[in-house]
């Protein structure tokens, strides 16, 4: 079967064996999204080699104990060992022996078929089309913020970064949060996807914004973004880190110590919550899709995704037709 494969820092289409029946449930890919983490993997993040991709919606090929073949599913990307203290306490996402779909030790979803443990699979209701379901994984990551941090109704919020995750977070907060929300970025062309949101170019941040926000979500994946977050969060406010990047740089955290700022790392969330959110709201996530390519044109799709200022690029198979 065709797969978009990472070797070192080279990304290309390869023919790889189909998953073996009788193991983990097999899933036929319908639609997959290329995200910032995929691009960082190709820069050396995690030292991963293999089939890329972790955002997907597919059709289950094997009947399991709770799920039937033919159902559309999305999947939790972290697969814990099931034997350690972390797994036994419900923290499989932090299992030191875990594999992660398309990121660490496990082939990803940019292929005609993939596999995941049954417990990782979440059914997709008929009311949610593929173009919305494919956002379940990053949407779960945004909703995780509400699980980790108390977001008070009238808290002032700033989101730094107008990449795909930052825009998605802006959509969620525009719908779920009643207080003021500001998106800070540097791609005004993207802001038309969130017309309901107040947006500001990063070069226009003035002294009037210093120490003004109760919570700042850093989604730019840059040290400059975190420096900005430290500048605009109020004393005893909260900074939520939502990005993973390959490169690290020195950072002065003294200002966060002096201002007693809470810094929260935030990664993956629960997909059932994301599916419920998609089902119960009209969150227009499909606005974030810029282009969709057939899987056999995945190399062209990858080049498109690497362009600065690009929104979500998706890969589809004949299964999704």
276 Cβ contact list (under 8 Å, min separation 6): none
Pairwise CA distance, residues 216 & 222, whole Å:
14
Band the pLDDT of 197: cuts 50, 70, 90: confident
63 backbone dihedrals φ, ψ, rounded to 5°: -70, 135
Which three-class secondary structure string do you get for 89-100?
CCCHHHCCCCEE
Residue 249 predicted with pLDDT over 80:
no
Residues 6+ apart with CB under 8 A from 102: 38, 41, 48, 50, 51, 52, 53, 54, 77, 108, 109, 110
pLDDT for 319: 67
Q: What fold is seen in the domain 2-124+284-320?
A: Quinone Oxidoreductase; Chain A, domain 1 (3.90.180)
Read off the tokens for 228.
């900005």
Q: Which two tokens stand for residue 283?
A: 């969150």
CB 217 within 8 A of CB 159: yes
- Indicate if the pLDDT at residue 143 is higher than 60: yes
Q: Residue 65: what pLDDT?
A: 87
Residue 154 burial by Cβ neighbours in a 10 Å radius (0-12, 13-18, 19+): exposed
Task: Please count the CA atoms within 13 angstroms of the CA of 259 that sit on its side-chain side.
Answer: 23
Instruction: Tell me how far apart the alpha carbons of residues 114 and 71 are, in angstroms, rounded to a whole number.
Output: 15
Query: For the segment 88-136, what is each residue's pLDDT rounded down to a tens digit?
Result: 998 889 999 999 999 999 999 999 999 999 999 999 999 999 999 999 9
Fold of 142-265: Rossmann fold (3.40.50)
Q: What is the mean pLDDT of residues 250-277?
A: 91
Question: What is the average pLDDT value for the chain, to the nearest integer?
Answer: 93
Give tens-digit pLDDT for 155-180: 999 999 999 999 999 999 988 888 89
Using a 10 angstrom Cβ sphere, with 0-12 exposed, 13-18 middle and 19 or more buried, the burial of residue 121 is buried
Domain coordinates in residue numbering, the chain: 2-124+284-320, 142-265
Kindly report, residue by residue over 41-100, the tens digit of the pLDDT: 999 888 899 999 999 999 999 999 889 999 999 999 999 999 999 999 988 899 999 999
Reply yes or no on whether the pLDDT at 248 is more than 90: no
The answer to whether residue 255 scores a pLDDT higher than 90 is: no
Report the first-to-last Cα separation within the chain, whole angstroms. 18
Strands 2-7, 10-15: pairing is: antiparallel
Q: For position 194, what pLDDT does the model report?
A: 87
- Give percent of the chain above pLDDT 70: 97
pLDDT band at 245 (very low <50, low <70, confident <90, very high): low
What's residue 90's pLDDT? 87
């Amino acid at each position: 079967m065709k797969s978009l494969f990472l070797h070192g820092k080279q990304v290309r289409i390869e023919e790889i064996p189909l998953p073996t029946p009788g193991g983990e449930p097999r899933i036929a890919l319908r639609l997959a999204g290329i995200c910032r983490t995929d691009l960082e993997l190709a820069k050396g993040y995690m030292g991963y080699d293999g089939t890329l991709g972790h955002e997907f919606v597919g059709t289950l090929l094997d009947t399991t104990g709770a799920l039937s073949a033919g159902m559309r599913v999305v999947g939790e990307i972290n697969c814990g060992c099931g034997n350690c203290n972390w797994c036994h306490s419900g923290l499989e996402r932090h299992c030191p022996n875990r594999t992660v779909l398309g990121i660490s030790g496990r082939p990803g979803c940019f292929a005609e078929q993939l596999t995941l443990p049954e417990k990782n699979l979440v059914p997709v209701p008929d009311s949610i089309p593929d173009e919305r379901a494919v956002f379940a994984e990053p949407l779960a990551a945004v909703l995780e913020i509400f699980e980790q941090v108390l977001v008070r109704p009238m808290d002032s919020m700033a989101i730094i970064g107008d990449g795909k995750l930052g825009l998605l977070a802006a959509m969620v907060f525009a719908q779920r949060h009643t207080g003021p929300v500001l998106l800070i970025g540097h791609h005004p062309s993207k802001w038309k996807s969130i017309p309901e949101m107040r947006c500001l170019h990063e070069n226009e941040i003035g002294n009037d914004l210093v120490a003004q926000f109760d919570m700042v979500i850093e989604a730019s994946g840059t040290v400059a973004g975190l420096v900005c977050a430290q500048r605009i969060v109020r004393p005893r406010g909260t900074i939520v880190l939502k990005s993973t990047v390959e490169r690290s740089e020195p950072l002065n955290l003294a200002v966060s110590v002096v201002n007693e700022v809470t810094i929260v790392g935030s990664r993956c969330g629960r997909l059932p919550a994301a599916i419920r959110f998609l089902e119960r709201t009209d969150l227009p996530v499909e606005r974030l899709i810029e282009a969709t390519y057939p899987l056999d044109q995945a190399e062209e799709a990858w080049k498109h995704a690497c362009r600065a200022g690009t929104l979500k690029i998706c890969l589809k198979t004949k299964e999704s037709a």
